[in-house]
């Protein structure tokens, strides 16, 4: 297994000489009878030789940054994922040529794994046992932990595939360690061992009213569905959701809370949204976004003399708070953008957004203006969190490059 | 990817209307009205495999909603009732995911490029 590992990470083949790094290296020495071996398609060739070669692989290159995202909105296609992979560059696509029902997404830098793949019970099994997919008993946390740990250490894994169409567990697919691994699903922070592997975690907290409005939009066109059936489905899943999924938000480094607007009295269409970005204080390498004056409390309506907004306008709030016993900073946006200049105006007043150039947030939002949430706080905060994750990733990579000893100890 | 803008000047990507930044209703191929709500019709499936999945999920949603209603009639708090509605949620989400993927291109496109001879990849004709 170690041999195969070395061929996936960055390796150099050299004749034996003293190593210049000296730490945290795997060294493999090959001896063969000199018989030429044909290399497998896509696999590692060049192992057969009659002279001894030392393959040196630096683990610091293959240490993957792991992000956890808790969301109840299915896997991989979520808008958040698309925005995140876009921040890093490129679009995430399903793995080419493999199982067409794979839930995995891969881009140049990022691999997104759907945690439904770790279901221990398929649809039939869950029906027999009387457990929903939300129930921990339907999920194999031991395997989840083992595989996320392996990927983090640079070892490829054969990960199961849960097929959402057939409801069955399909044969596994190979996952090679990427620069950034995102694990997305219902239980990324449920198991404490998996939690400890996460470099950053996010919880998407959708309020019941908004969830209902979104599911109506999603399902009303389907034969069989009605307002009542949509409502019944949400209600029936609520006990398990409250028991197993919701408690994870206390562990998240950032929570994106989506609520109905307060700007339109009695609005229940769920179109205008109030979105709160709750950021944990004291998280290593993560500096919360703030408005005007860090640590103070700010109420801000950008629309006025300099900026004209259409109804219902935009309202911001920023301030410190406590969340499940932790100190947090909360940045809140209620309302909608409908012009470019509103967006750039707001961006120019936010601090600690980890952009690389002025207008980067606006540019990212514009790039994906057809994504849901592009005109409100969901798109704005998802984009900002994406930039914060990029910043976190770059800090981790920089620190590992400078001090391999420290990195080895970490 | 759009080029890096100079401060204060952001050029919108091609095809953008200069007045409204975020058009409220993006009109795609067809729009049908059902129950007062405007819904987008699904993009057409190119391969037989996608058409099959679409059909399967549509039928499953209908079937599972009926099942759930029956099961829950007895005891709405029973495990069976919760599992039944969870199945409805699972297939509803799977259908929505498929619908979303199909807006760009047939999800089997890359699979069928490499395996054109399979049954899944026969070009679907109505």
Structure ipTM: 0.80
Q: What is the pLDDT of residues A64-88, one digit of tens each?
A: 999 999 988 767 567 888 898 899 8
Q: What SS3 state is found at A119?
A: strand
| B34 closest CB neighbour out of A89, A220, A224 | A220
CA pair distance A103, A275, nearest whole angstrom? 28
A266: left (phi over 0), alpha (psi -120 to 50) or beta: left
CA B93 to chain centre: 8
Distance from CA of B44 to the nearest CA of A (A): 16
Bigger pLDDT: A270 vs A166: A166
Would you call A120 exposed, middle or buried from its count of C-beta atoms within 10 A (0-12, 13-18, 19+)?
A: middle
> How far is the CA of B111 from the CAs of A99, B108, B120, B126, in angstroms?
8, 5, 9, 22
Task: Spell out the per-residue pLDDT of chain B, length 126, in tens.
Answer: 444 444 443 334 433 333 344 544 333 334 344 443 444 445 677 899 999 999 999 999 999 999 999 999 988 889 999 999 999 999 999 999 888 888 888 888 888 888 888 888 888 765
CB A361 within 8 A of CB A348: no
Local confidence band at A243 (pLDDT 50, 70, 90 cut-offs):
very high
Give mean pLDDT, residues A362-386: 93
Of A74, A100, A366, the CB nearest to B111: A100
Q: Cis peptide leading into A312, omega within 30 of 0?
A: yes
Vertex A25: Cα angle to A20 and A29 (nearest 5): 95
Which one of A7-21, A214-228, A351-365, B96-110 scores highest in mean pLDDT? A351-365
Pick among B13, B15, B22 to test the A interface (most A CBs inside 10 A) = B22
How high is the pLDDT of residue B6?
Answer: 41
On whether the CB atoms of residues A258 and A71 are closer than 8 A, the answer is no
Distance from CA of B90 to the nearest CA of A (A): 7
Query: Touching check for A97 and chain B: CB below 8 Å?
Result: yes
pLDDT for A310-364, tens place per residue?
A: 889 999 999 999 999 999 999 999 999 988 889 999 999 999 999 999 999 999 9
Give yes or no for residue A373 having a pLDDT over 50. yes
Residue with tokens 């410190």: A320
In angstroms, the CA A198 to CA A191 distance is: 11
Contact by Cβ (8 Å): A141, B94: no
* pLDDT: which is higher, A88 or A175: A175
Q: Which residues on chain A are in Cβ contact (under 8 Å) with B63? A: 224
Task: Specify the pTM.
Answer: 0.80
Cα distance from B111 to chain A (closest Cα, Å)?
5
Q: How far out from the chain centre does Cα A220 lie?
A: 29
- The pLDDT value given to residue B32: 42
Best B31, B57, B89 residue to mutate vs chain A (most A CBs within 10 Å)? B89
The answer to whether the Cβ–Cβ distance between B120 and A100 falls below 8 Å is yes
- Nearest-Cα distance to chain B for A51, in Å, is 38
Collect all residues of chain A within an 8 Å Cβ-Cβ radius of residue B56: 165
Distance (Å) from the alpha carbon of A390 to chain B's nearest alpha carbon: 17
Percent of chain A with pLDDT over 70: 82
CB crowding B6-25: b at 16 or more within 10 Å, else e:
eeeebeeeeeeeeeebbeee
State the Cα–Cα distance between residues B70 and B76, nearest whole angstrom.
Answer: 10
pLDDT at A385 over 50: yes
More confident residue, A53 or A255: A255
pLDDT band at residue A237 under the 50/70/90 scheme: very high
Any CB–CB contact under 8 A between A151 and chain B? no
- Judge whether A397 is closer than 8 Å to chain B, CB to CB: no
Contacting residues for B104 by C-beta, under 8 A, at least 6 apart: none
**pLDDT value for B105:** 82
The tokens of A194 are what? 């998996």
Model confidence band, residue A403 (pLDDT cutoffs 50, 70, 90): low
**CA–CA separation, B81 vs A373, rounded Å?**
33
């Amino acid at each position: 297994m170690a041999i195969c590992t070395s061929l996936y990470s960055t390796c150099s083949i050299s004749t034996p000489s003293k190593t210049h790094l000296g730490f945290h290296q795997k060294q493999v020495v090959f001896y063969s009878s000199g018989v030429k071996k044909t290399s497998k398609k896509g696999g590692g060739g060049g192992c057969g030789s009659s002279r001894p070669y030392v393959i040196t692989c630096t683990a610091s290159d293959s240490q993957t940054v792991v992000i956890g995202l808790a969301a109840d909105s299915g896997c991989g296609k979520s808008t958040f994922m698309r925005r995140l992979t876009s921040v890093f560059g490129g679009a995430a696509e399903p793995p080419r040529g493999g199982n067409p029902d794979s839930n995995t997404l891969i881009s140049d830098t990022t691999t997104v794994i759907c945690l439904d793949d770790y279901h221990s019970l398929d649809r039939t099994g869950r029906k027999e046992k009387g457990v929903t997919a939300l129930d921990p008993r339907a999920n194999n946390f031991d395997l989840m932990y083992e595989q996320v740990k392996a990927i983090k250490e640079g070892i490829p894994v054969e990960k199961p595939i849960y097929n959402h169409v057939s409801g069955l567990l399909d044969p596994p697919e190979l996952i090679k360690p990427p620069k950034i691994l995102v694990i997305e699903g219902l239980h990324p922070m449920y198991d404490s061992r998996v939690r400890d592997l996460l470099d950053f975690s996010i919880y998407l907290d959708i309020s019941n009213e908004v969830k209902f409005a979104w599911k109506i939009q999603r399902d009303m066109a389907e034969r069989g569905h009605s307002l009542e059936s949509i409502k019944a489905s949400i209600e029936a899943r609520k006990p398990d959701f409250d028991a197993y999924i919701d408690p994870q938000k206390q562990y998240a480094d950032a929570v994106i809370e989506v609520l109905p607007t307060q700007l339109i009295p009695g609005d229940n269409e769920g179109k205008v949204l109030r979105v709160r970005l709750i950021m944990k204080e004291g998280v290593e390498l993560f500096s919360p976004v703030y408005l005007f004056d860090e640590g103070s409390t700010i109420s801000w309506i950008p629309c006025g003399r300099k900026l004209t907004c259409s109804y219902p306008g935009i309202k911001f709030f920023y301030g410190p708070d406590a969340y499940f016993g932790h100190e947090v900073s909360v940045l809140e946006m209620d309302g909608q953008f409908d012009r470019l200049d509103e967006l750039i105006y707001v961006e120019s007043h936010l601090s600690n957004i980890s952009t690389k150039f002025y207008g980067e947030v606006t540019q990212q939002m514009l790039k994906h203006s057809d994504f849901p949430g592009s005109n409100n706080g969901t798109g704005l905060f998802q984009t900002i969190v994406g930039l914060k994750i990029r910043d976190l990733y770059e800090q981790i990579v920089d620190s590992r490059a400078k001090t391999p000893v420290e990195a080895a100890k970490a | 990817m759009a080029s890096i803008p100079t401060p204060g000047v952001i050029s919108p990507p091609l095809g953008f209307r200069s007045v409204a930044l975020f058009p409220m209703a993006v009109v795609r191929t067809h729009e049908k009205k059902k129950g007062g709500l405007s819904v987008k019709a699904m993009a057409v499936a190119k391969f037989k495999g996608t058409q099959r999945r679409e059909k399967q999920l549509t039928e499953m949603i209908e079937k599972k909603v009926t099942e759930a209603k029956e099961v829950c009639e007895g005891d709405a708090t029973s495990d069976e009732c919760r599992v039944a509605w969870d199945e409805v949620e699972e297939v509803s989400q799977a259908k929505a995911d498929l619908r979303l993927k199909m807006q760009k291109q047939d999800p089997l496109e890359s699979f069928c490029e490499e395996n054109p001879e399979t049954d899944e990849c026969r070009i679907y004709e109505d």
